[in-house]
Homo-oligomer: A and B are copies of this chain.
Amino acid sequence: MTTVSDRLDAMQAQFPDMRLLGGSDIPERNRTDWSFLPPSDPLAVARPTSTEDVSKLMAACHASGIPVTPQGGLTGLCGGSRPLDGGIALSMERMSGIEKIDPDGMTMTVLAGTPLETVQKAADDAGMFFSLDLGARGSCAIGGNLSTNAGGNRVIRYGMARDLVLGVEVVLADGTVLPMLNTMLKNNAGYDLKQLFLGSEGTLGVITRAVLRMHPKPGCVSAALCVVDGYDKVLELLRTARRSLGPMLSAFEVMWGDYWHQATECVPGARAPVQIGDGTHVVLVEMQGLDADIDTPRFETWLEGVFASGAVTDGAVAQSLGDMAAFWATRDAAAEFANPAVIGPHISFDVGLPVKRMDEFAQQSKAALLTELGCQSVHYGHVGDGNLHIVAWVPGASPQPLPDVSRIVYGIVRGFGGTVSAEHGIGTLKKPYLGHTRGPDEMALMRRIKTCLDPENILNPGKVFD
């Protein structure tokens, strides 16, 4: 009979240069991600230091049918990087660093394990801007950002991770290395294979390197909080912001009244920079301009216009970096909701909807949750991108009734033609609901693609779909 220890030894014997961590050497952090799923029991954690190591590992696992789960910063929220029991956790943490910066092409070549914040800082040091940004910036790795097609705060202006990558080096399930480190903005020579590996959550290949696209550094930033009465006025504000701020509009974050009260009245130490009064929504509008002398007055003039037109009933313009931080703190307060003094245990959603119908959805979802489950909910999101976050909780319930709440929310999403995941991905948590957004023929084609690229089904099996 083969023991776990035998299997680990047999595996280790194939990699004299890469120590596999097994048994009690497995770091606790590599057993799960930020999905709150319980720790798993992998055979080993591999921490390669080169693409060649990754290739050898994949070839060996391919030959012996051992599942491999790629891991970046382990900040995923849906279980995508939680390893399988008995499988290999392939941590990219030792493949970290900036390899090259090209100021003329505005590209940066990086190893997949590089933390997002390191990439942002390197771009800044080189006089440029890497626009991808999300709360986990200090922990998440760029390889994970790409394989989940991360979204974040400035999608409205710069797009998602997919839009910020020109080339990738990828290791396929059988160990084949595809060195597709294209550095050019335009390349129509054959199929754009890199797209397969962006957003497929490590099920089709392991990203080991990437060529990222940078943008010019903004010269100035303006922000305002606008109190708005009614979602029609929110849409009117969005239209005028797009028209008047154009490509400088860098955030349009809407906080529904239910969210605003939680964020500014229940979070310890929070303060409300504006009073919602008779309003129904508070909108954080941000503009990344080029030149403060020209663009700050542009922003203020626009804002005076929306006040004068009645689209906005109250508001505040940031007069300092401190104000700006305080404005964003209201938007980021959701991170504090897990505090028992605020909400405590809760369920978060990340759905996408047609922009026009987001409020209608929020109302239906809120009412259904309350009626059917006595479940509270608050709403906020990147409305310009059609992305709504819902925080839902049944007061006092432990555990929170995740399946029931999900069934109600995703059922309404389906009716609205929305998506069950705008940015966080599917992982394992949302697998039951993928069919709400994608049809059976689409699911069948996903499976065919998976089989085509990974016939032994060893790359992150059981993620995205079964």
Contacts and interface: CB of A to CB of B under 8 A. Distances in A.
Contacts of A451: 452
Contacts of A243: 216-217, 219, 290
A353 interface: yes
Interface string A378-393: 0000101111000000
B190 A246 contact: no
Given A190-B464, A191-B446, A445-B193, A184 B353 contact: yes
Nearest to A245: B290
Given A182-B419, A291-B298, A449 B446 contact: no
A218 B246 contact: yes
B188 A148 contact: yes
Interface residues of A, number: 95
A216 B189 contact: no
B192 A162 contact: yes
Contacts of A192: 149, 162, 195, 198-199
A271 interface: no
Interface stretch (A28-36, A99-107, A360-368): A99-107
A438 B190 contact: yes
Point out which of A148, A186, A352, A385 has the most chain B C-beta atoms below 10 A from its C-beta: A186
A426 B356 contact: no
B356 A102 contact: yes
Interface in A232-289: 235, 238-239, 242-248
Q: How many copies does the complex hold?
A: 2
Nearest to A446: B191
Interface string A338-360: 00000000000000111110000
A387 B443 CA distance: 37
Nearest to A218: B246
Given A216-B243, A246-B290, A188 B421 contact: yes
Contact of A244 (B204, B290, B353, B426): B290
Nearest to A160: B186
Contacts of A216: 242-243, 246-247
A465 interface: yes
A425 interface: yes
Given A103-B239, A239-B103, A445-B178, A437 B352 contact: no
A151 B441 contact: no
A462 interface: no
Contacts of A434: 189-190
A34 to B, nearest CB: 16
A346 to B, nearest CB: 21
Given A149-B192, A190-B442, A239-B103, A385 B352 contact: no
A406 interface: no
Nearest to A234: B104
A108 to B, nearest CB: 14
Nearest to A445: B193
A157 interface: yes
B176 A441 contact: yes
A75 interface: no
Nearest to A350: B188
* A-B interface, 7 closest residue pairs, ranked by CB to CB distance from nearest: A247-B247, A195-B195, A452-B452, A186-B422, A189-B437, A104-B356, A184-B386
11 contacts: A104-B239, A105-B386, A151-B188, A182-B419, A186-B386, A186-B422, A186-B423, A187-B421, A192-B198, A193-B445, A449-B452
